[in-house]
Amino acid sequence: DAGITQSPRYKITETGRQVTLMCHQTWSHSYMFWYRQDLGHGLRLIYYSAAADITDKGEVPDGYVVSRSKTENFPLTLESATRSQTSVYFCASSVEQGRGYTFGSGTRLTVV
Amino acid sequence: AQKVTQAQTEISVVEKEDVTLDCVYETRDTTYYLFWYKQPPSGELVFLIRRNSFDEQNEISGRYSWNFQKSTSSFNFTITASQVVDSAVYFCALSEEGSQGNLIFGKGTKLSVKP
C-alpha cells in the first residue's frame, strides 16, 4: 500500500527492555521524522533524517536511537525502555523542506 | 529560537457558531513555513494548510479560513458554522528554512463542538 505505515499500532513492554518502532514510506521522500506526543506537551521531535545515512537529534533524543540505511525505512529504537517513554509516537515524511508533512497513524507505546 | 504558542487550551462552542483558533509564532528567519493540522479523536494527524512566509494572502477552503499576519506573527484559523465533526485537537506548526524540515508544534487547542 502506498503511504506511510507504522508498526506496531500498540505495544506494551517492560521497563528495561529494548523495543523498536518501525516506520516505512513508499514515496521515496528524503525527509523523515519521529515525534512523540504527550498530554500537555503537544508533539516533540525526537530524531530526524534528511536522507539515507543522515540522521540528527531533535528536541528530546535521550534514550532513543535511529538508523536510516534505506530511504524508505526509519526505525526508532528505545534501548532500555523507561516509564517516561510511555507515549504515542508518530513518524512523518516530507518530499522537501517546507512541503506538507504526512504522518503515520501512530504507535501507542506503554512501558510498565 | 523558533516557538509556536497556542494560548487556547480548550474551546467549547455550540454547533453553527464561528470559532477562531489562535496561533502566534516566533522566528528569526525571513523564510519559514506555517502549518495547521487536525487531530480527530481517532488520533491521526491530518494536514490542513501550509503557508510560506512570503505569501500573506488569506485563504478560504469551504468553512475553513486562515488569517496570516506577519506584523503580529500570527496565523489564526477560523471555522465558520462549526459542526460536530470539527471536534478535534488542532495544532499550529512552524518550520524554518534552515531547520532541515523540522516542524515545531504548538501544544494544540482542543475544540469541542456540541450539538
Asked if A46 and A62 touch (Cβ cutoff 8 Å), the reply is no
Select the residue from A9, A30, A43 to test the B interface by mutation, using most B Cβ atoms within 10 A. A43
CB contacts of B107 in chain A (<8 Å) are 40-42
Could you tell me if A5 and A106 are in contact, meaning their C-beta atoms sit under 8 angstroms apart?
no
Average pLDDT over residues A3-26: 97
Average pLDDT over residues A11-36: 96
- Alpha carbon A10 to chain centroid, angstroms: 14
Handedness of CA B29, B4, A76, A73 (dihedral sign): negative
> Is pLDDT above 70 for B1?
no
Most B CBs within 10 Å: which of A41, A88, A96, A101, as the mutation test of the B interface?
Answer: A101
CB contact under 8 A, B44 and A101: no
Q: Which of B99, B100, B105 sits opposite A43 (nearest CB)?
A: B105
Q: How far apart are CA B106 and CA B109, in angstroms?
A: 9
Subunit contact A106:B99, Cβ cutoff 8 A: no
Touching check for A98 and chain B: CB below 8 Å?
yes
Mutation target among A97, A102, A108 for the B interface, most CBs of B within 10 A: A97
Question: Which cell is A50 given?
Answer: 534528511
As a whole number of angstroms, the distance between CA B3 and CA A99 comes to 19
A4-7 and A10-13 beta bridge pairing: unpaired
Confidence of residue B40 (pLDDT cuts 50, 70, 90): very high
Chain A residues with CB under 8 Å of B37 CB are: 103
pLDDT digits (tens, 9 = 90+) for A50-107: 999 999 999 999 999 999 999 999 999 999 999 999 999 999 999 877 677 899 999 9
pLDDT digits (tens, 9 = 90+) for B71-110: 999 999 999 999 999 999 999 999 988 777 788 999 999 9
Q: Tell me the percentage of chain B whose pLDDT exceeds 70.
A: 98
